[in-house]
């Protein structure tokens, strides 16, 4: 990018002239100059226009990465997850609808795409997941164009570091024992994490009598309790424990498990029953002192309203890579704040998605904790597909990026070898 220096030079000279004549004010104007140097000035922002949107898929299509290009050699990156397989043409359709427009009107473009898809599924699912990736890329692009980190565009920050819990991925073992849970929890704590998460829904549990009936048997309930009790014994009383049931059980089991876990002082019990029924969630929540958490399969602020109005949950956990994006994520958090409900986003994306989520988490008062995946430490792919500065996570916290935009970039060449076969890759 070749910046137009005239306006920058004028302001720089004015700041320096204002500082001359007094040694006490020798640093006067330096902050303004630094801000100006960080700000791209290819032309007036009103002349910035979207020229193209390209995308790439990995993880069999379950991770979508988009890149929005402009006429000023500045671009934005965004990510969508889970509800994204087969959505290449949906990305292209949305891209065509905003081509030629200013990317700086993020809320307006989001609303135009949402309203324009009213009869195309814009209430949830794949449409919203793709819209999420595009909306996130617009924030990244806007931040880069104006020289500001995304959290500043969202109104500023309440915190500099974002606390995360470590999903230890113990589910990869077949029928993990309580000792397996205990050891992996200790390993996570040694890595500096102050909170851990485990899945206790096991389809292949030998104590299960019926694959399709999700009423837990006495043997399953015993297995669940023993696994979590082993974690608590291993890490002590001050480490937070989060437990996930993936919405795979019925109301009876949800209430029983929540009650069973009360002595173990969980941070939360995640999705003990399916996501659709806010009234059923209220019955679980009212039956126990164990905090109940849900929301990774809800879309837009509209999807969270019934849960909040009916007292269905103690904690909400939207996935900011599929619930509608960063602006919508902030709206969801602010809505929850009216009910004094903490905000603890679900996160199964790349480090681009993790840092994008961090900007939202920093911007709201009721942030509790963000999900972090053990695969960031174990699978080299997650370091190859993005570029960033510094450590990903330290002592259970992500340091919020101060770079313009999100602060993490897509590495197309690093991602190429993981691309989903048969789908165009950034073409």
Token readout for 229 is 């009790």
Looking at the domain assignment, is residue 426 inside a domain? no
* Under 8 Å between Cβ of 314 and 293: yes
Looking at the domain assignment, is residue 411 inside a domain? no
Q: Verify that 124 and 198 share a domain, yes or no.
A: no
Rounded to the nearest 5°, which phi and psi values hold at 276?
-75, -30
Q: Verify that 194 and 300 share a domain, yes or no.
A: yes
CA distances in angstroms from 389 to 20, 157, 382, 393, 402, listed in the order given: 36, 20, 14, 11, 11
Dump pLDDT digits (tens) for 198-232.
999 998 899 999 989 999 999 999 999 999 999 99
Dump pLDDT digits (tens) for 77-110.
999 999 999 999 999 999 999 999 999 999 999 9
Would you call 18 helix, strand, or coil by DSSP?
helix
Q: What is the pLDDT confidence band of residue 10, given thresholds at 50, 70 and 90?
A: very low
Q: Verify that 60 and 13 share a domain, yes or no.
A: no
Dump pLDDT digits (tens) for 355-392.
999 999 999 999 999 999 999 999 999 999 999 999 99
Residue 169's pLDDT is what? 78
Q: Residue 183 maps to which CATH number? A: 3.20.20.120
Last residue of a domain, one of 111, 126, 148: 148
Residue 38's pLDDT is what? 57
* Under 8 Å between Cβ of 74 and 145: yes
Looking at the domain assignment, is residue 412 inside a domain? no
Whether the pLDDT of residue 396 is over 50: the answer is yes
pLDDT, mean over the chain: 91
The whole domain housing 133 covers 46-148
Domains: count for the chain: 3
Buried b (16+ CB within 10 A) or exposed e, 111-126: eebbeebeeeebebeb
CA distances in angstroms from 327 to 4, 87, 245, 319, 324, listed in the order given: 31, 22, 28, 13, 8
Residue 8's pLDDT is what? 45
CA distances in angstroms from 121 to 88, 116, 117, 126, listed in the order given: 16, 10, 6, 8
Q: Residue 104 maps to which CATH number? A: 3.30.390.10
Token readout for 420 is 């989903």
**Rounded mean pLDDT, 396-404:** 98
Token readout for 267 is 């941070």
Dump pLDDT digits (tens) for 169-198.
776 677 889 999 999 999 999 999 999 999
Q: Verify that 181 and 101 share a domain, yes or no.
A: no
Q: Verify that 136 and 159 share a domain, yes or no.
A: no
Beta strands in 119-200 (DSSP E): 161-167, 195-199
User: What gap in Å lies between CA 182 and CA 324, rounded to an integer?
Assistant: 36
Q: Verify that 126 and 179 share a domain, yes or no.
A: no
- Give the residues across from 371 on adjacent strands: 165
- Give the residues across from 294 on adjacent strands: 316
Token readout for 139 is 């924030």
Q: What is the pLDDT confidence band of residue 34, given thresholds at 50, 70 and 90?
A: low
Q: What is the pLDDT confidence band of residue 9, given thresholds at 50, 70 and 90?
A: very low
Looking at the domain assignment, is residue 425 inside a domain? no
1 C-beta neighbours (distance < 10 Å), count: 9
β-strand 386-387 against 268-270: which pairing, if any? unpaired
Burial label for 217, CB within 10 Å (0-12, 13-18, 19+), is middle
Give me the helices (H) in 117-149, please: 125-146
Looking at the domain assignment, is residue 420 inside a domain? no
Residue 37's pLDDT is what? 55
Last residue of a domain, one of 94, 129, 148: 148
**Rounded mean pLDDT, 395-402:** 98
> What pTM, to 2 d.p., does this model score?
0.89
Contacts of 392 (CB under 8 A, 6+ apart): 351, 354, 376, 398
Q: Verify that 311 and 383 share a domain, yes or no.
A: yes
Burial label for 109, CB within 10 Å (0-12, 13-18, 19+), is buried
Looking at the domain assignment, is residue 342 inside a domain? yes
Residue 175's pLDDT is what? 81
Q: Verify that 235 and 331 share a domain, yes or no.
A: yes
Q: Verify that 20 and 111 share a domain, yes or no.
A: no
Contacts of 114 (CB under 8 A, 6+ apart): 122, 131, 300
Q: What is the pLDDT confidence band of residue 45, given thresholds at 50, 70 and 90?
A: confident
Q: Verify that 302 and 160 share a domain, yes or no.
A: yes
Q: Verify that 250 and 329 share a domain, yes or no.
A: yes
Looking at the domain assignment, is residue 416 inside a domain? no
**Rounded mean pLDDT, 19-23:** 40
Rounded to the nearest 5°, which phi and psi values hold at 267?
-70, -45
Ranking 16-20, 140-144, 267-271, 277-281 by mean pLDDT, the lowest is 16-20
Looking at the domain assignment, is residue 418 inside a domain? no
Q: Verify that 50 and 33 share a domain, yes or no.
A: no
The secondary structure of residue 84, as a DSSP letter, is -
């Amino acid at each position: 990018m070749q910046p137009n220096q005239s306006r920058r030079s004028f302001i720089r000279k004015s700041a320096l002239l204002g500082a001359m004549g007094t040694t006490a004010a020798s640093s006067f104007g330096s902050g303004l100059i630094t801000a100006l140097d960080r700000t791209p000035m290819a032309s007036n922002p009103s002349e910035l226009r979207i020229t193209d949107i390209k995308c790439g898929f990995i993880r069999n299509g379950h991770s979508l990465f988009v890149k929005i290009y402009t006429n000023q050699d500045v671009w934005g990156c965004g990510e969508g997850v889970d509800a994204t397989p087969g959505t290449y043409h949906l990305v292209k359709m949305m891209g065509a609808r905003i081509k030629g427009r200013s990317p700086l009107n993020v809320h307006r473009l989001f609303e135009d795409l949402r309203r324009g898809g009213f009869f195309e599924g814009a209430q949830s699912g794949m449409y919203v997941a793709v819209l999420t990736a595009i909306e996130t890329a617009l924030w990244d692009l806007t931040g880069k164009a104006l020289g500001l980190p995304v959290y500043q565009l969202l109104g500023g920050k309440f915190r500099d570091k974002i606390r995360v819990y470590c999903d230890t991925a113990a589910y990869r073992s077949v029928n993990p024992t309580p000792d397996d849970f205990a050891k992996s929890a200790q390993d996570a704590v040694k890595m500096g994490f102050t909170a851990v998460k485990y899945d206790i829904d096991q389809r292949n549990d030998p104590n299960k009598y019926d694959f399709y009936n999700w009423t837990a048997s006495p043997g399953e309930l015993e297995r669940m309790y023993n696994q979590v009790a082993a974690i608590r014994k291993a890490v002590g009383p001050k480490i937070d424990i989060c437990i996930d049931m993936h919405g795979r059980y019925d109301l009876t089991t949800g209430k029983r498990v929540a009650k069973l876990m009360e002595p173990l002082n969980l941070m939360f019990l995640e999705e003990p029953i399916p996501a659709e029924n806010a009234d059923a969630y209220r019955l679980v929540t009212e039956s126990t002192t164990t905090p109940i958490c849900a929301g990774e399969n809800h879309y837009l602020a509209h999807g969270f309203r019934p849960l909040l109005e009916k007292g269905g949950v103690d904690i909400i956990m939207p996935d900011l890579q599929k619930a509608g994006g960063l602006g919508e994520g902030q709206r969801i958090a602010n809505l929850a704040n009216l009910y004094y409900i903490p905000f603890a986003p679900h996160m199964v994306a790349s480090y681009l998605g993790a840092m994008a989520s961090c900007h939202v988490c920093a911007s709201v008062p009721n942030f509790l904790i963000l999900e972090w995946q053990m695969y960031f430490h174990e699978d080299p792919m997650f370091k190859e597909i993005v570029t960033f500065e510094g450590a990903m996570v330290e002592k259970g916290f992500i340091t919020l990026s101060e770079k313009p935009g999100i602060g993490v970039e897509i590495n197309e060449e690093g991602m190429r070898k993981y691309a989903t076969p048969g789908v165009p890759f950034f073409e």
